[in-house]
Amino acid sequence: MRRAVLTMVCAAVLTVLWGCGGAAGANMQESGEESAAAKEQSGEESVAAAGQGGEDSAAATEQSGEESAAVMGQSGEDSTAAAERDSLAGSTFSILGDSISTFQGYNPVGYYAFFPDYGEVKKVEDTWWQQVADEMALTLYVNGSSAGATVAGDSTGTEDPQCGCNEMRTNDLSGPEGACPDRIVIYLGTNDFLNAVPLGENDGTELVEEGEVKTFSDAYTLMLDKLQANYPLAEIYCCTLLPVGDYGTDTPYVEFISGTQFTSADYGEVIIRIAANRGLSVIDLNDCGVTIENMHEMTSDGVHPTAAGMECIAAAVKEAFAE
Torsion of CA 181, 186, 191, 197, to 10 degrees: 120
For the chain, what is the largest distance between any 2 Cα atoms, rounded to a whole number of angstroms? 132
3-state secondary structure of 85: helix
Q: What are phi and psi of 20, to 5 degrees?
A: -105, 60
Give pLDDT tens digits along the chain (323 positions). 333 333 332 333 333 333 333 333 333 334 444 444 444 444 444 434 444 544 554 444 445 545 544 444 555 555 555 555 567 899 999 999 999 999 999 999 999 999 999 999 999 999 999 999 999 999 999 999 999 999 999 999 999 999 999 999 999 999 999 999 999 999 999 999 999 999 999 999 999 999 999 999 999 999 999 999 999 999 999 999 999 999 777 778 999 999 999 999 999 999 999 999 999 999 999 999 999 999 999 999 999 999 999 999 999 999 999 99
Handedness of CA 90, 91, 92, 97 (dihedral sign): negative
